[in-house]
Structure 1
Amino acid sequence: MSDNPTLIADIGGTNARFALTTDAPRYFQQAQTLEAAEFEHVSDAIDTYLHSHNIKQLKAISLAVAGPIRDGKVTFPNSHWSIDCHSLRARYHTDHVKLLNDWEAISYSLSCLDSGDLINIGGTWDGLPDSDYTVGALGPGSGLGMSGLLRRNDVLIPLVTEGGHAGFSPENQLQGEILAYLHQKFDDRISRERLLSGPGLVNIHEALCEIHGQENPGLIAADIAVAGINKTDPICEETFDLFFEVLGQVAGDIALALGANDGIFIGGGICQRYPNQLLASRFRKGFENKGRHSPLMKDIPTWLITHKNPGLLGASVFAQTNL
C-alpha cells in the first residue's frame, strides 16, 4: 500500500463505507463500514477509519454521496452530516478532494463489472466492447436512482440524472387506476419514484387494497416483500409483481432515452435483496413492450448488479482516472 493512499467512500444516510484505492482488478481494499449516527461530523468518521488503518497522510479523497452536490458541498437529506470539499482539503492537506453523486459513482463502476458481479435478466451480452459504448443504470432503494455511462475515445463520461423524478406513465388499465389513487393521495404529479422505491411498494400496496375493496393493513415495505415472496397474501404478491413490471417499463424508457443499446444495469437494495423474484417477474416483458421499437428492445441486455459495493468501486475508478 502507498504511503499516501487515496481514500474513497460511499456515504448514505445511514452508513459510510470507506476504503483505499488499489490497482485493478481489485480496485479497492481495507473496506470498513461505519454508522453515520455514531459520529458528529464526517471528518470524525474519516479520522476513525484512518486511525484504524494507521494512515498518516492522504494523496486524494473521492467520496460518493447520496445527496445533491452544490459548489463542492452536500447536505444529506436523511442524515445530520454535511460535507464541504474546502474543509476536507484543509483538514487532510490535499488539493485532490472530489464529491460524486452516488449514482455517478455507480456509473463509473459499470466499466469494470464482470460476469461474477452480474446476473443476466434478459438479452445476451459478452461484456462491454473495447470501443465506444452507451449504457444506463437505475435502481430502487429509499428513492429511485438513475444514471448513464458513455465511453468515447477511451474516456468515461457519466450521465448524472434525476430521471427517477420524471412522471410515471401507466401502460394498462390497472396501472391507470393506481395512478388515479396516487393523485388522490399526493394531490400533485406522480413521479416514477412514487412507485419504484421502498415507499413506492407501500404506495402500490395501498392502491391495490383500495382497488380490490380490501382493508389496508398498513404494512411496511419489508412485510409486503416477505408476504409477496411467500405467497401468503394475494395483494402483496400482486404488489411485488407489479413493482418489477413497472421497473422494466422504466428501464426500457431509459434505454430509449439514452440510446443505451449496449445494456441497462439494475442496482439498488430492493432488487439486490430479491434477485429470484426479479428474474421470475414480468420485468423483461415491461422492458420490451415498446410498440414499434419492441424488436430493438429484445436485443438490449439487462443485468442485475450483484457487486456488494458498486459505489466504492466507482469512486475508485474515478479517483484512479481523474485525481
Structure 2
Amino acid sequence: MSYPSDTTTLVADIGGTNTRVALTRGTDLLSETVSRYRNAEFDSLTQVLEQFIADQGGVDPTAACVAVAGPVHNGTAKMTNLDWAVDEATLARATHAETVAILNDLQAQGHALGHLPDSAHVEIVKGAKSDSNQPQLVVGIGTGFNIAPVHNTPNGRIVTAAEAGHAGLPAVTSQDRALADYVAQEYGFASIEDVLSGRGLSHVYGFLTDGREMTGHEIMQACANNSDPAARETVKLCTRKLGQVIGDLALVQLPFGGIYLVGGVSCALGPYLTEFGMADAMADKGRFSDFVAQFGVYVVQDDYAALIGSAHYLNAAGE
C-alpha cells in the first residue's frame, strides 16, 4: 500500500535488541505498517529507517519521532545498551521529515498513558482510586531500568526524563546487603539496573547459586515450569527488590495517578508480583507504610505503547 507524501508521520521505538517502526495518521497507529528489525543486523538507525521507508514503498512522512533507550540531551541521544548515534540531524536526513523529535523511550511511554485500551492494563496493587489528573509514574524494566514522571497540566502533558536505573540499589535486609556487595564486586557499583533488568535476573540467580549462569529468559521459563527452585527464589527476590524500589520512587514522586510498569521484564514478572509480595515490600516504609499503600500499580501489556506515545507527542507539539 502506498501513502501520499506528507500525510503520515513516522514513529520508532529503539530498544537494546530490536527497533519497531510504524506510520501514523495523526495519533492513529497504522497497524499494518508496524515493523520490527533486529538491531544486530544493522550498523545504524539510518539503515533501519531507510529499510522501513523502502518497505513502505518510499513513503515520505511529514514528521518523525523516535523513542530511544538512553538519555536525550539537546537533540542527541546516547544509547545505553547500543552503539548507535541518534540525533535530530541524522533523523531528518534518513526520513526527509520536516519535523523531527527524539524522546527517551520511557518519556514516550508516559505520553501513551490515557491513550491505551483498558485491556492493556493489569492491576497488580490496588491503591486508592487513581486520578489521571494527578502525577503518574512510568517504570520500565527490560534490557535496562528507568522511570518517567508524568504531569498533566492545564497547558498539556509534561513527561520528564531520568536515568534512575543507575541510582544505588536499596539494601534493607542482610540478604539485600550481601546482594549489593556481590554486584558491586563484579561491576564496581550496585545499581538498580544490575538487579532489575534482563541481565539483573541473571545476576541475582548467580548470587543465589554461587555463580551458576542462566539467562533471564531461562530463569523465567524455569520459574514457570517449577523446574528449578533457585529460579523461583530469583523471581521472588527480584519481586521484593522491585517493591522496595517502587516504594522509594512513590515517596519521591507522589504518583496519585498510578504507577505503570512497562517493558519485557515487567510483563514477565507480572504474574508473580502478587504471589511473591511486591505490595508488602513496596509498603514496608515504617510509619509511612499506610501512605505508600495508596498508590496503585499496573502492568502495561501493549507492545506499541511507545509508538502510540510518540504519535501523541508529535500531535501535541504541532497544536
Tell me if TM exceeds 0.5: yes
- Whole-Å separation in 2 of the counterparts to 1:267 and 1:92: 28
For the pair 1:107 / 2:110, whether they are aligned, the reply is yes
Q: Deviations over 1:276-311 (max 9, x none)?
A: 223322111111212111112222110001112221
Q: Indicate how the Cα distance of structure 1 residues 306 and 125 shifts in structure 2: closer, same or farther if over 3 A, else same.
A: farther
Q: Indicate how the Cα distance of structure 1 residues 68 and 209 shifts in structure 2: closer, same or farther if over 3 A, else same.
A: same
Q: Indicate how the Cα distance of structure 1 residues 96 and 238 shifts in structure 2: closer, same or farther if over 3 A, else same.
A: same
Aligned partners of 1:141 and 1:270 also within 8 Å: yes
SS of 1:112's equivalent in the other structure is coil
Deviation at 1:107, TM superposition (A): 1.2
Tell me what 1:172 maps to: 173
Aligned partners of 1:111 and 1:128 also within 8 Å: no
SS of 2:310's equivalent in the other structure is helix
- Whole-Å separation in 1 of the counterparts to 2:86 and 2:182: 39
SS of 1:286's equivalent in the other structure is helix
1:84 aligns with one of 87, 100, 109:
87
Tell me what 2:249 maps to: 254
Deviation at 1:98, TM superposition (A): 0.7
For the pair 1:195 / 2:202, whether they are aligned, the reply is no
Deviation at 1:88, TM superposition (A): 3.2
Tell me what 2:140 maps to: 139
| TM score, norm. by length of structure 2 | 0.89
Aligned partners of 1:143 and 1:193 also within 8 Å: yes
Q: Deviations over 1:228-274 (max 9, x none)?
A: 23222222211110101111111111111011122111112112134
174-183 or 164-173, which deviates more: 174-183
Aligned partners of 2:46 and 2:90 also within 8 Å: no
Aligned partners of 1:59 and 1:94 also within 8 Å: yes
Q: Which runs of 5+ in 1 are unaligned?
A: 211-215
- Whole-Å separation in 2 of the counterparts to 1:222 and 1:70: 33
- Whole-Å separation in 1 of the counterparts to 2:90 and 2:184: 43
Whichever residue aligns with residue 251 of structure 1, its letter is I
Tell me what 2:17 maps to: 14
Whichever residue aligns with residue 54 of structure 1, its letter is G
- Give identity over the alignment, percent: 26
- Whole-Å separation in 2 of the counterparts to 1:159 and 1:77: 18
Aligned partners of 2:106 and 2:140 also within 8 Å: no
- Whole-Å separation in 2 of the counterparts to 1:162 and 1:264: 17
Aligned partners of 1:64 and 1:102 also within 8 Å: yes
Q: Indicate how the Cα distance of structure 1 residues 230 and 69 shifts in structure 2: closer, same or farther if over 3 A, else same.
A: same
277-286 or 299-308, which deviates more: 277-286
73-82 or 104-113, which deviates more: 73-82
| TM score, norm. by length of structure 1 | 0.88
Aligned partners of 2:239 and 2:276 also within 8 Å: yes
1:72 aligns with one of 50, 58, 75:
75
Aligned partners of 2:143 and 2:198 also within 8 Å: yes
Q: Deviations over 1:205-229 (max 9, x none)?
A: 222224xxxxx33222222222223
112-121 or 68-77, which deviates more: 68-77
Q: Indicate how the Cα distance of structure 1 residues 91 and 71 shifts in structure 2: closer, same or farther if over 3 A, else same.
A: same
- Whole-Å separation in 1 of the counterparts to 2:269 and 2:186: 28
Q: Deviations over 1:176-225 (max 9, x none)?
A: 22223333333x33111121112211221222224xxxxx3322222222
Q: Deviations over 1:101-129 (max 9, x none)?
A: 11111111123234211100011576644
Q: How does 1:292-303 map to 2 (within 5 A)?
A: 292-303=287-298
- Whole-Å separation in 2 of the counterparts to 1:200 and 1:88: 32
Whichever residue aligns with residue 296 of structure 1, its letter is F
For the pair 1:234 / 2:202, whether they are aligned, the reply is no
Whichever residue aligns with residue 39 of structure 2, its letter is A
Q: Indicate how the Cα distance of structure 1 residues 122 and 136 shifts in structure 2: closer, same or farther if over 3 A, else same.
A: same
- Whole-Å separation in 2 of the counterparts to 1:115 and 1:287: 24
Whichever residue aligns with residue 61 of structure 2, its letter is L
- Whole-Å separation in 1 of the counterparts to 2:258 and 2:157: 16
Q: Indicate how the Cα distance of structure 1 residues 2 and 282 shifts in structure 2: closer, same or farther if over 3 A, else same.
A: farther
- Whole-Å separation in 2 of the counterparts to 1:40 and 1:234: 41
SS of 1:111's equivalent in the other structure is coil
SS of 2:274's equivalent in the other structure is helix
Tell me what 1:206 maps to: 206
Superposition RMSD on alpha carbons, in Å?
2.2
Q: How many residues align?
A: 314
1:288 aligns with one of 283, 287, 290:
283
108-117 or 149-158, which deviates more: 108-117
Whichever residue aligns with residue 156 of structure 1, its letter is R
Tell me what 2:38 maps to: 35
Q: Indicate how the Cα distance of structure 1 residues 176 and 58 shifts in structure 2: closer, same or farther if over 3 A, else same.
A: same
SS of 1:86's equivalent in the other structure is helix
